[in-house]
């Protein structure tokens, strides 16, 4: 009875919910529901969402055992699953359309309290920070940065005369750090990771696409503690005590980051999420329209299904 209740709860929530069904039937059932919707009315925005999600699922498997973090980019929610049952759900901020969060099938490599942030070169160029360093080194001092020039770590004031040669801008640990107070590393993620934030107000947005590609998590301390299999109070003690070590999880934690704009709930009804990256609308209508538009609907309106995060 308890197991059945847990499975029913798991199936009723976020994309990845059917993860809790036994065996390989879960993903097959999901693909079946999506396939039916994709073919029922191929000119609708909802059908485009179902078709796009189905294509993006590819050969992905949703494991029903072990620890798994599932990130659905369009919904802006991260869910931690343990043996197929959701145990933590968190609002998240994902990449904006110009710097999208990639779809990944990977695993956690470490959890680090009090991380530094090395600014990506793309941001340095886009914001012209080398030029800004030359003109206003106080900005970087005020925001806790050190600057690397010719292999040496300098204060912003020291580095300002050599700003054009600066190879790295590194923000020191602390509450104003862009990564916040906790970072979760991912394998083969091309610089994308899960982390805290110094701008929690973003979590209040209905559509949370505002990062440079990484995933910011509202309940990052709870999820970090779960990954390391420690209590939240132990996680807090590590952060508050100034720990800066990379801690490996005691058991593997799989991470699936997907772009799913349509997903079935427990009843088989498809729920829809905003197509923030515009990946669903590329196919032309099969009913004879030649404008690539949708015959009976505008863009798919989001219908949120998360049981806590909304």
Pairing of strands 262-264, 117-118: unpaired
Query: What are the distances in angstroms from CA 238 to CA 13, 181, 197, 243?
Result: 32, 10, 17, 5
Contact of 219 with 69, CB cutoff 8 Å:
no
164-220 pLDDT, tens per residue?
999 999 999 998 999 999 999 999 888 899 999 998 999 998 889 999 999 999 999
- 271 Cβ contact list (under 8 Å, min separation 6): 262, 263, 264, 265, 303, 304, 305
- Write down the pLDDT at residue 184: 98
- Write down the pLDDT at residue 81: 93
Which residue is associated with the tokens 């934690």?
253
- Write down the pLDDT at residue 42: 66
- 242 Cβ contact list (under 8 Å, min separation 6): 114
Query: For the chain, which domains are there?
Result: 2-115+175-272 (2.40.440.10), 118-171 (no CATH)
CB atoms within 10 A of CB 205: 12
Q: Strands of the chain (E only): list them.
A: 67-72, 77-82, 85-95, 104-113, 117-118, 145-149, 152-154, 166-171, 182-186, 194-195, 209-211, 215-217, 253-258, 262-264, 270-272
Query: What are the distances in angstroms from CA 296 to CA 45, 46, 148, 302?
Result: 8, 10, 56, 17
Which residue is associated with the tokens 């360093």?
133
30-57 pLDDT, tens per residue?
889 898 888 876 677 888 999 999 999 9
Which residue is associated with the tokens 């343990």?
82
In the chain, which stretches have pLDDT less than 50?
Answer: 1-24, 283-284, 286-310
d(CA 50, CA 136): 50
- Write down the pLDDT at residue 285: 55
pTM equals 0.82
d(CA 146, CA 164): 15
Q: What is the DSSP string of 28-58?
A: HHHHHHHHHHHHH-TTSHHHHHHHHHHHHHT
- Write down the pLDDT at residue 300: 44
Q: Which residues pair with 149 in a beta bridge?
A: 152, 166
Q: Which residues pair with 136 in a beta bridge?
A: none
């Amino acid at each position: 009875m308890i197991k059945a209740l847990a499975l029913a709860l798991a199936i009723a929530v976020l994309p990845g919910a059917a993860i809790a069904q036994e065996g390989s039937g879960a993903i097959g059932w999901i693909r079946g529901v999506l396939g039916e919707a994709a073919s029922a009315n191929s000119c609708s925005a909802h059908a485009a969402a179902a078709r796009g999600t189905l294509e993006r699922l590819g050969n992905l498997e949703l494991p029903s055992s072990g620890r798994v973090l599932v990130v659905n980019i369009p919904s802006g929610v991260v869910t931690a699953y343990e043996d197929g049952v959701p145990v933590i759900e968190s609002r998240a901020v994902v990449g904006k359309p110009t710097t999208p969060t990639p779809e990944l099938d990977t695993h956690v490599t470490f959890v680090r309290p009090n991380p530094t942030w090395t600014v990506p070169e793309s941001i340095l160029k886009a914001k012209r920070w080398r030029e800004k360093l030359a003109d206003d080194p106080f900005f970087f001092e005020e925001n806790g940065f050190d600057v690397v020039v010719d292999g040496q770590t300098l204060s912003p004031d020291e580095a300002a005369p050599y700003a054009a040669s600066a190879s790295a801008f590194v923000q020191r640990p602390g509450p104003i750090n862009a990564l916040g107070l906790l970072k979760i590393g991912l394998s083969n993620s091309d610089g994308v990771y899960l982390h805290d934030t110094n701008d929690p107000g973003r979590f209040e947005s209905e559509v949370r696409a505002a990062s440079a590609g990484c995933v910011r998590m509202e309940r990052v301390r709870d999820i970090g503690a779960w990954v390391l299999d420690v209590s939240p109070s132990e996680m807090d003690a590590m952060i508050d005590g100034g720990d800066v070590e990379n801690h490996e999880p005691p058991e593997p934690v799989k991470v699936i980051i997907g772009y799913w704009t349509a997903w079935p709930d427990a009843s088989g009804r498809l729920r829809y999420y905003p197509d923030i990256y515009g990946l669903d609308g590329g196919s032309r209508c099969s009913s004879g329209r030649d404008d690539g538009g949708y015959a009976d609907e505008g863009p798919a309106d989001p219908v949120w299904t998360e049981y806590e995060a909304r």
